[in-house]
Structure 1
Amino acid sequence: MGKKKRVRPEPASLGLPCLGVDTHAHLDMGPMAEMLPEVLQRSHSAGVGRVGQVFLGPEAYASKREQFRDFPEVFFLAGIHPHDAQTFTADGIADLSRAMGKDDRLKAWGEIGLDYYYTYSPPEVQKAALRAQLEAVRQLDVPPVIHSRDADEETLAILLDMGFADRPVLWHCFGRDLEFGRRLVGYGWTLSIPGTVSYRKNFPLQEAVRNLPLDRLVLETDAPFLAPEPYRGKPNEPALSVFTAQAVARLREMPVEELWEAMGRNAVRFFGLAPLGSAL
């Protein structure tokens, strides 16, 4: 007998209202870029009212933003990723600064930060790119979205040195424990929770999400990466954020609908989005 095929629930089967927000997705990557209308229709059917599209650099923003012209539910983030830190220039930062001042769909500068896991760019170059972008963020008074991998203490030190305590900061793809999470929210920052919280043995993150203040948490997919259970190992997309919400709701012992709406409101407040449920 052959192996029984696993049947995964459809995201829309949770029946959630269209009051959720996927704060971080790369809709211009992989198959999603070729099937954008279908991807966004699935997300809407699942209850995702807004999606944050992350452009990795000024060139990506300039060349791809028009792909989203007919999808007002998509808001934008743009920044120079630490993997690409060697490409950063003063002109590139100036281009992004001008765009932030003109395009009201650009709600945050990111993802930016440090990544010492891959070190595609040397650490000193990464730090210089991060500081230059944070300086632009301060001048524009927009929130940064922080990528930090195997570099949390150095990332944190730079943010504090540059005066970001008690300023709006979003820590992308939070994956640490309760102690570190409490440090971040103690600075007034917000944590973005990915699908990895649903992984069975991810106990430190689960403890953190169970105990951290709900008003400091938002949801993200980081699509096409990090799909939650029961889609782990498959390409991620915004519709699957409902399963991340389901995992968080179970940890916090609250109805998933209540959790979904609360984290959606948190995202609307952080990014300054149009209220969920309103016309776009």
Structure 2
Amino acid sequence: MLFDTHAHLNAVQYEDDLIEVINRAKEEGVEKIVVVGFDRETIMRAMELIEQYEFIYAAIGWHPVDAIDMTDEDLNWIRELSSHPKVVAIGEMGLDYHWDKSPKDVQKEVFKKQIALAKEVKLPIIIHNRDATADVLEILQSEGAEEVGGIMHCFTGSIEIAMQCIDMNFYISLGGPVTFKNAKKPKEVAAEVPMERLLIETDCPYLTPHPFRGKRNEPGYVRYVAEEIAKLRGITVEEVGRQTTENAKKFFGIS
């Protein structure tokens, strides 16, 4: 029983073999998947997938790298789509200081607008953070994101930062990097973060776990994330699967 809380099955990388990818996920025990749309094209595809597959849900938002492209019309469109019963979160949103396509002030403005929207439509948020931890935390606090809560997607920070996020009503989601040999911080977080605040994800087609690193990622590989967490905590993979699936269903409001 596994729940991939962050997948991009709406990516072009799955155009030729999506059905096979989904079947493999099922074989690995993946029960539910949240597909994340982060611009016009990927949001539209995510909405198509939730109509096609009973066990797929959508999160819709605007990625910080593309913040400069987002219009008020886009925001209103996300607002309208958010009423769909299988849209379970707003995001991914946040800040990305690695790429310089969108100026920092524009990223911050778009981030704040999406938090306000999430509070308006009463949905939790999914956070993308790359090289911007201090500013991400400051905005989450100043904009009252605690009200809706959220996920720190593909978390790679320290256990101290993780606990700060949990105090703000956030869950910590771990992906493929936790399986990497030299991933000191993710392994510490996997071992120490409270189980009731832990989620697992693939972020596929990116961040493929060991032993498939360098190849295309897919939801079935979330099992390797669960196995690594189980090893680090000294519990069974079934326990990790059960608890993280329970956490995800509670977070997304899926019965």
- Please state which band the TM-score falls in when normalised by the shorter chain: over 0.9
Per-residue displacement from partner, 1:106-143 (whole Å, max 9, x unpaired)? Answer: 10001000000112211111011111111111111100
Matches of 2:155 and 2:45 in 1, distance apart?
Answer: 29
Aligned AA (1:224) = P
Partner Cα distance (2:191, 2:226) in 1: 12
Instruction: Report what 1:220 is aligned to.
Output: 201
Any stretches of 5+ residues in structure 1 without a counterpart?
Answer: 1-18, 275-280
Contact 1:249/1:255 (CA < 8 Å) preserved in 2? yes
In structure 2, do the counterparts of structure 1 residues 64 and 196 end up closer, same or farther at CA, with 3 Å as the change threshold? closer
2:254 pairs with 1:254: no
Q: Could you tell me whether the CA contact under 8 Å between 1:58 and 1:79 is conserved in 2?
A: no
Q: Would the alpha carbon gap of residues 167 and 61 (structure 1) be closer, same or farther in structure 2, given more than 3 Å must change?
A: closer
Q: Does 1:271 align with 2:252?
A: yes
Structure with higher Rg: it is: 1
Shift of 1:61: 2.1
Q: 2:218 aligns with which of 231, 234, 237?
A: 237
Amino acid at match of 1:50: K
Q: Displacement, 1:214?
A: 0.5
User: Hey, what's the Cα distance between the residues in 1 that align with 2:41 and 2:221?
Assistant: 28
Match of 2:184 in 1: 203
SS at match of 1:148: strand
Cα pair 2:91 2:127 within 8 Å, conserved: yes
- Indicate the percent of aligned positions where both proteins have the same amino acid: 31
Residues 253, 80 of structure 1: CA spacing in aligned structure 2 closer, same or farther, 3 A cutoff? same
Map residues 31-42 of structure 1 onto 2, 5 A cutoff.
Answer: 31-42=13-24
Aligned 1:1-280 pairs, distance under 5 A: 19-62=1-44, 65-101=47-83, 103-165=84-146, 167-274=148-255
Q: Which runs of 5+ in 2 are unaligned?
A: none
Contact 1:143-1:169 at 8 Å conserved across structures: yes
Counterpart Cα distance in 2 of 1:137 and 1:166 = 10
Distance 1:150 1:218 in 2: 21
TM-score (normalizing by structure 1) = 0.88
CA deviations over 1:216-251 (Å, ceiling 9, x no partner) = 010000000011111111110000000010000000
What is the TM-score with the length of structure 2 in the denominator?
0.96
**Contact 2:122 2:148 survives alignment (8 Å):** no
**Matched residues in 2 for 1:188 and 1:62: separation?**
29
Q: 1:272 to 1:68 in 2, by over 3 A?
A: closer
Contact 1:178/1:207 (<8 A) preserved: yes
Instruction: Report the Cα distance in structure 2 between the residues aligned to 1:165 and 1:273, rounded to whole angstroms.
Output: 20
The match for 1:278 is: none
**Aligned mates of 1:200, 1:27 — CA distance in 2:** 27
CA 1:263–1:128: 2 relative to 1, 3 Å: same
Structure 2 distance, partners of 1:222, 1:75, is: 14
Runs in 1 of length 4+ with deviation above 6 angstroms?
A: none
- Equivalent pairs counted in the alignment come to 255
Write the letter of the residue equivalent to 1:75. Y
Per the TM alignment, residue 261 of structure 1 is displaced from its structure 2 partner at its CA by 1.1
How many angstroms does 1:63 deviate by? 5.2
Contact between 1:112 and 1:147, CA under 8 Å: does it hold in 2? yes
Kept after mapping to 2: 8 A contact 1:58/1:96: no
Structure-2 change in CA distance of 1:68 and 1:272 (3 Å):
closer
Q: Calculate the aligned-residue CA RMSD, in Å.
A: 1.3
